[in-house]
A = this chain, B = another copy of it.
Amino acid sequence: MRQTSHGPIGVFDSGVGGLTVLKSLMERLPHESTLYLGDTARVPYGTKSGEVVTRYSLKNAQFLLERGIKLLVVACNTASAVALPALSAALPVPVIGVIAPGARAALKRTRGGGVGVIGTPGTVRSGAYQRELQAADPHVKVKARACPLFVPLAEEGWMTGEVPHLVAREYLADFAREGVDTLVLGCTHYPLLKGAIAEVVGPHVALVDSAEATAEATAELLALREMLAPEGAPTTHGYYVTDVPERFVEVGARFLGRPIPSAEQVDLSF
């Protein structure tokens, strides 16, 4: 495995959602440069098969690797859930997904041991969160549910009001009744719907978002392997997308919490 403190941290996602993970990385590791790839020509991943998501993930990773990244963060929950073993086997740099950090954060929060997980159909079907949670604590009770309409609602900007509330109630009413005290928002889009989700599950359920936990895990790994960029080194942040950049630049700023100056369009259909 290649180990160096040079080079940016690579981050990929199916689209804009992973920018919430990039945001946490920038806050936690302000001396690191980053390269972000949003696969906007093939988004979404959450409704596609593990086979196709793995193929796309390997192409994304190869693209970033050719640009000299020292570590890869898979910011997409679906890709983390289905493609992490293939990515770790194929890449000469360390690979971090969002599932394990999110699961660990949930286990720290739960008091009664009932953890809910919501995500895309691909993430929930993979069972990755369920495995990760039960490997760390065999006594934890896990209830998982796919919420496929949350992504289009967040992408549309319908984050408050009657429609997201009703959709959240349809998906989540059971959680409130089943002893769940901690709910993992297992998709990078879901934090945008936190308000509607919290209304339905109530104030006694802690909502866990894996972005911060993933940034923390990245910081720990870089420190452990002595791969942190030196303080004071100049940092750069680059953005690539596979569809035209306009919408990414516009919508992405909402996810990143700061403007995206520009993004370069690249063709990964090789």
Contact = CB atoms under 8 A, between A and B. Distances in A.
Range class of the A interface residue count = 20 to 34
Interface string A138-181: 00000000001101110110100011001100100000000000
A166 B156 contact: no
Contact of A152 (B41, B42, B149): B149
Interface string A165-203: 011001000000000000000000000000000000000
Copies of this protein in the complex:
2
Interface string A237-263: 000001110000000000000000000
A236 interface: no
Contacts of A43: 47
A125 B119 CA distance: 31
Interface string A25-60: 000000000000000111100011101100100000
Nearest to A167: B163
Contacts of A52: 41, 242-244
Given A40-B48, A149-B152, 19 more contacts: A41-B42, A41-B48, A43-B47, A48-B243, A49-B243, A49-B244, A51-B243, A51-B244, A52-B242, A52-B244, A148-B152, A148-B156, A149-B149, A149-B153, A149-B156, A149-B158, A151-B152, A163-B167, A166-B166
